[in-house]
Structure 1
Amino acid sequence: MGRIKKKGTSGAAKNYITRTRAVKKLQISLPDFRRLCIFKGIYPREPRNKKKVSKGSTAATTFYYTKDIQYLLHEPLLAKFREHKAVAKKIGRALGRGEAGDAARLEKNLMPKVKLDHIIKERYPTFVDALRDLDDALSMLFLFANLPSSEYIPAKTIALCQRLCHEFEHYVIVSNSLRKSFLSIKGIYYQATIQGQDIMWLVPYQFVQRTAGDIDFRIMGTFVEFYTTLLGFVNFRLYTSFGLVYPPKFNAKSDEEGGGLDAFQLEGRAIVNEGPAENGDSTNAIASAEAQAEVDKIIATTGEEVETEEEASTALVPVDEDGNTDAIDKFEATAQGADVLPQPQSSSAEAASLFAPFTFYLSRETPRAPLEFLIKAFGSKRVGWDSTLGDGAFTTNESDPSITHQIVDRPTLPTVSQHEVSVEPEATNGDAPAPKAQWPRSTMPGRTYVQPQWVWDCINQGKLLRPDLYAPGAELPPHLSPWVKPKKGEYDPNLPLEAQEPEGEADIFSEEEEEVDVDGEDSDMEEAPAVNGTGANVDALVDRESSVEAGEGMDVAELDDESEDEEDEDEIADDWEGFDSDAESDVSEGEAERRQHQRELEAEAAGIQLESKAPSTKEKKAKLRKDAEKKRKREEEERERLKMMLPQRKRKLLKRIEFGTDKRDKEAETLRKKRRRIENAKQAAEAI
């Protein structure tokens, strides 16, 4: 007879372990256990059958894989945590005795420093693995870089996050890796392609952040500690692979004055030939010199001077009929309703030449940091702004004649006020006075004024768009996410309504609007006291009818009786009017055809030619609507017939698919109606 197997010693009960047992097994505190799990990438697991794992208990319990906890037993950080706990006890004992100097000495000399280098190497065996896991790291670090310092977030951590984020942005600018960007409610999304990997991160808007009290900053601080180490390794690898010195030179004075990206200065690595040249062979030396020249050229393009090579490279960019730089072939659908093919993305050379020939000036009301990053990432190295926005501008003079584009984000002043304000030009050394631009009072001739959305839309579409659509005060086109492509049947704001609405929907909508307008006018006539020069007050008329004075009551009654008799006579006449009455519109279509046929027979018997009455516009719309309704009914009947031939399982699946399709169609119809109302309102306003 075999040995009896105990319950809970094999299977799922052995594969999982509770958090309490895991903490006891590792002999560390719960905060240290959480910190260690975050560093190692170990997360709670949900077993399929909780009752089997917890030996019949159904209480809420956190489970981990037993193998993961056994893996943590050999972690070197456990010894660091225990040393930290021992030193913390000594410091507490010294503070209890009032020996503050000894406590400071113990914290400075004996407190162990936790390094995560070996964990980064364990979790990311290759550099591509680190790039794939960079999305959350960048989003978290950019978030902490915009937070204010507090007792939970030290200023040193915020400065470290800002430095790492600026270093990463500099690499994106130099390598022209940025591809897309999108303005959302949460913040600004960016996507860069680095070594074939798409990296997307979110940057919050630079507003005053107020941290809530229900946020566990210890957990977030642990993630920040790990992500700063990861991004430091990634930045080092990216800079060295591109031939740059890491870390770049940091100008603390410029950073204090709001320099931002310009507080960092990139340098190329000096390439030294290790092997001596034999027999006059200087091939290695020439190769090293050429490589160093390429690095120096890249660094030079990040400066403020205008390079002639940049102008030459922009001259080689293909230009389409509209003057837009669009060198990518686009795959368009061959038929209506066909699959949308994925479009190729712009290369780094095309991204580097999008804004290269232009000089930008940012007005005070525009967000400087994102615009500077985007414009420099797409070729332009000449970005100026007002001196109040910080240090590092290409120019702080708004009247600089080299400025080609000025980005403004304020409404234009009325034409009267523009003429009323006189702009005094500045005199220069006896020459003609130079024009001085003071937007929005005056503008510089030859300069293009656009709103900030123009930069984002040009980047997402990979070409220069018409600036007049983004002029100050103009109604901007819809800003859509570049990662969401409209599917078949969904509402597309870029297409006209006629191209995406079903047949007869516009007529139905116009009739509904007319009914609503008529009802609204009737209610207005009943409620509003309409007084004009030709008629009397409606309320006065109602009061006059309701009031009965002496000698007028019998007359009013007689008039009412006469009007009722006339109405009865009219109704009788309508009933005996034959087939030409207006009641024909209320009968069914079959009855109308029968009556029409009867009229034709009577006319033929009497020898009279029946005049064909041309259908009115309302009748045409009604006929089109009926035809569309018939077509829809036929398609629905055919669909139901085909559905009955399916087995029950596939029929349920089809039902779920149809539910999602109907929901999508209703949403699209609602959006189309909303757009139709807006367009009708615009047309009415223009007509007035």
Structure 2
Amino acid sequence: MGKIKKKGTSGQAKNYITRTQAVRKLQISLPDFRRLCIFKGIYPREPRNKKKASKTATQNTTFYYTKDIQYLLHEPLLAKFRDQKAVAKKIARSLGRGEVGDASRIEKNHAPQLTLDHIIKERYPTFIDALRDLDDALSLLFLFANLPSTTHVPPKTIALCQRVTHEFQHYLITTNSLRKSFLSIKGIYYQATIQGQDIMWLVPYRFVQRVNGDVDYRIMATFVELYTTLLGFVNFRLYSSLGLRYPPKFDKRSDENGAELAAFTLEGRAVADAPKAIGTGNKQTNSLTNQEVSSEVQAKVDKVIKSAGLDKTKPEQPTEATEESTEAIDKFEPTAPEADTLPQPDISGEEAGSLFAPFTFYISREAPKAPLEFMLRAFGCKRIGWDTILGDGAFTHNEADPRITHQIVDRPTLPESSLPAIPAAAENGDDGATQKVKPGTRIPGRTYIQPQWVWDCINEGKLLRPDLYAPGETLPPHLSPWVKATKGAYDPRATLAEQEEEGEAEIAADEEEKEESDEEMEEAPAAKKVAAKDESEAEDDESVDGGMDIANSDDDSESEEEDEEESEEEDASPLEDDNASQSEDEEEVARTQHQKELEAEAAGLPFSSNGANDDSKKKKSSQAKKVAAKKRKEEEELDRQKMMMSRKKRKLLEKMMYSNKKQSDESAKLRSKRRKIEKGAEK
């Protein structure tokens, strides 16, 4: 007889453990257990059968893997949590006795400090693993960097998040690693490519944030603690790969004045070797440290080079140019117009670094300074100015500086009567630091654009027409750079003629005409009543003047016409019977046309009887009939092909057709909306 197996010693009952059992096994509190699980990356699991996993399981029971909890038993953080609990008891005892000095001393000198370095090394054994898991970390840290300080979010946490995120942005600016960006309802999406890994994160807009009590900030603070350690490791590795010193030099005073990115100064022995945005070679060695070489020193250096005979590298320049040309990214073109469009590669680092390099930008007060400064610097712009109210670190605070080539404006053009006046001190030039420009005025030789121009140029990889983004102009559609246009889907950048199917415009025009005619028919009864009253009054007048003779004459003429018709019917040959149906149709068309004329005349509307409108209507109706007949033939052919398929393939084809029809209906609805908007704009 075999050994009797005890219940609950194998299977799901052994593989899973409840949260209460796990807390008791680790001998820590529930908040510490949550923190430990977040640090170690251990999440709840759902067993297949909760009754087998535990006898007392309910719907709300949380389960974990038993092996995960066993793994946590050897975690060094458990001892730190217990030490923190012991110190908290001592502080509470001192406060209970009224010994505030002892309590502060214990908290300052004996409180254990948690270090998560070993956890980062365990969870990310390679640097590529850390880069792949950087999306959520950057999104959360940028969120906390824009939150206001409250009891739940201390100022130290916000300052730490701002510092590590600005350090990461400086690396992207130095290496030109930023690739794409998109303005959405949630915030601004960014995508950067670092060591072959695409990293995307979300930065919220700088609105006034309302901190609600529905969010558990203790759990979010635990994630922030983990992610700040992770991003600190990543920044150190990235800066070390460029030969830069980490952490970079930080000016606290300029940061308090709103400098943000300009409060950091990168230092290192290999600063000149890092990829720069403007130019190549030795011309960019001192661009990062904001040092300019004087012309006299440069002339002396050139003399020494010529005297030493070191200027013989001119014939080698073509070879360098050819090498650079081979590094250009190829563009894939389809071999046939019916072929699929191939995805094009992104712009290279050199192209990204020289996109805005030759320009000098000035950001107006109403435009978002932080994202614009980051994106312009990441794509090569070295000279960016803004108003003094936006903070320190600008290239110039003078809006009338002649070196400014582009000004970013985000307010509509207003008449001069509604513009505010400039203070007298600024007009007389008393304010020497900045020179004020009258609001609404345009400086000649400067390009005025809206902020969307920067985003669209970056996503397209080239400079777009600035006149389309001028202040007050209707901006082009801002589409996501990660969503590619598919065949048959609606594309707001293309014209309606390029997207409409065969006969779609004619069918839409017929439907609009029918709707207009229905509206006219609804408006006509009121006009008919007025016309009927006028006609009755006229008939009464005619009867008084002797209208009986006219009526008799009409009856005589009608009787004569009837006699003529009877004689014509008797003389008609049997060959004319074939055309009887056509004549009846023509009579019906004439009657309906006559009825429409009467209705239009009663309503006081113009009506063309046999003009060009009838010909165009006939053409449209014939074309619509042809399109309908063509669709009917295609459907019949498809039904024949379905009959030859197996059941499995037929079901698959029906699913594909359903999804394609759904997509085409959505695109047709969007096209119809756009058609109405364009017609309304024309009117």
Partners of 1:396 and 1:502 in 2: CA distance: 54
Partners of 2:402 and 2:613 in 1: CA distance: 67
Shift in Å at residue 167 of structure 1?
0.7
Runs (5+) with no aligned partner, structure 1 = 272-286, 288-293, 310-315, 317-325, 429-434, 528-537, 588-612
Give 2:667's aligned residue: 668
Shift in Å at residue 437 of structure 1?
4.6
Give 2:450's aligned residue: 451
Letter in 2 for 1:301: S
Letter in 2 for 1:10: S
Return closer, same or farther for 1:627/1:151 CA change in 2, 3 Å cut-off: same
Aligned length: 592
Say whether the 8 Å CA contact 2:242–2:270 is kept in structure 1: no
Which string of whole-angstrom CA distances, capped at 9 and with x for unpartnered residues, describes residues 221-258 of structure 1? 00000001111111111111111111111111111111
Give 1:253's aligned residue: 253
Give 2:409's aligned residue: 408
Letter in 1 for 2:659: G
Partners of 2:92 and 2:417 in 1: CA distance: 74
Give 1:377's aligned residue: 378
Give the secondary-structure state (helix, strand or coil) at the position aligned to 1:300: coil
Give 1:341's aligned residue: 342
Shift in Å at residue 142 of structure 1?
0.3
Shift in Å at residue 13 of structure 1?
2.5
Give 1:200's aligned residue: 200
Give the secondary-structure state (helix, strand or coil) at the position aligned to 1:190: strand
User: Which segment is superposed worse, 660-669 or 227-236?
Assistant: 660-669
Return closer, same or farther for 1:509/1:78 CA change in 2, 3 Å cut-off: same
Letter in 2 for 1:460: N
Return closer, same or farther for 1:88/1:451 CA change in 2, 3 Å cut-off: same
Say whether the 8 Å CA contact 2:490–2:670 is kept in structure 1: yes
- Match of residue 300, structure 1, among 264, 269, 286: 286
Give 1:397's aligned residue: 398
Give 2:681's aligned residue: 682
Partners of 1:464 and 1:130 in 2: CA distance: 34
Shift in Å at residue 661 of structure 1?
1.7
Letter in 2 for 1:21: Q
Partners of 1:650 and 1:402 in 2: CA distance: 67
Which string of whole-angstrom CA distances, capped at 9 and with x for unpartnered residues, describes residues 270-304 of structure 1? 79xxxxxxxxxxxxxxx9xxxxxx99976732355
Say whether the 8 Å CA contact 1:45–1:64 is kept in structure 2: yes
Say whether the 8 Å CA contact 1:18–1:61 is kept in structure 2: yes
Shift in Å at residue 84 of structure 1?
0.9
Give 2:494's aligned residue: 495
Which string of whole-angstrom CA distances, capped at 9 and with x for unpartnered residues, describes residues 599-625 of structure 1? xxxxxxxxxxxxxx9992222222221
Letter in 2 for 1:188: I
Partners of 1:621 and 1:84 in 2: CA distance: 83
Give 2:572's aligned residue: none
Partners of 1:306 and 1:496 in 2: CA distance: 50
Letter in 2 for 1:128: I
Partners of 2:74 and 2:3 in 1: CA distance: 33
Partners of 1:53 and 1:249 in 2: CA distance: 56
Give 1:153's aligned residue: 153
Partners of 1:164 and 1:234 in 2: CA distance: 10
Shift in Å at residue 438 of structure 1?
3.2
Partners of 1:425 and 1:31 in 2: CA distance: 59
Give 1:478's aligned residue: 477
Say whether the 8 Å CA contact 1:304–1:382 is kept in structure 2: no
RMSD of aligned alpha carbons: 3.8
Say whether the 8 Å CA contact 2:244–2:270 is kept in structure 1: no
Q: How does 1:217-236 map to 2 (within 5 A)?
A: 217-236=217-236
Partners of 1:514 and 1:614 in 2: CA distance: 12
Return closer, same or farther for 1:461/1:40 CA change in 2, 3 Å cut-off: same
Give 2:651's aligned residue: 652
Partners of 2:673 and 2:336 in 1: CA distance: 28
Give 1:13's aligned residue: 13
Letter in 2 for 1:648: R
Partners of 2:328 and 2:360 in 1: CA distance: 22
Return closer, same or farther for 1:424/1:78 CA change in 2, 3 Å cut-off: closer
Partners of 2:364 and 2:446 in 1: CA distance: 14
Partners of 2:223 and 2:396 in 1: CA distance: 40
Give 1:278's aligned residue: none
Letter in 1 for 2:399: E
Which string of whole-angstrom CA distances, capped at 9 and with x for unpartnered residues, describes residues 510-539 of structure 1? 111222233334445667xxxxxxxxxx69
Q: TM-score, normalised by structure 2?
A: 0.79
Q: TM-score, normalised by structure 1?
A: 0.79
Shift in Å at residue 449 of structure 1?
0.6
Partners of 1:583 and 1:619 in 2: CA distance: 14
Return closer, same or farther for 1:495/1:522 CA change in 2, 3 Å cut-off: same
Return closer, same or farther for 1:168/1:581 CA change in 2, 3 Å cut-off: same
Return closer, same or farther for 1:220/1:78 CA change in 2, 3 Å cut-off: same
> Does residue 175 in structure 1 map to residue 175 in structure 2?
yes
Give 2:600's aligned residue: none
Give 2:80's aligned residue: 80
Shift in Å at residue 6 of structure 1?
2.5
Give the secondary-structure state (helix, strand or coil) at the position aligned to 1:182: strand
Say whether the 8 Å CA contact 1:359–1:382 is kept in structure 2: yes
Partners of 1:416 and 1:103 in 2: CA distance: 66
Letter in 1 for 2:647: Q
- Percent identity, aligned pairs only, is 64
Give 1:263's aligned residue: 263
Return closer, same or farther for 1:27/1:425 CA change in 2, 3 Å cut-off: closer
Letter in 1 for 2:365: R
Runs (5+) with no aligned partner, structure 2 = 274-279, 296-317, 319-326, 430-434, 570-578, 590-611
Give the secondary-structure state (helix, strand or coil) at the position aligned to 1:616: helix
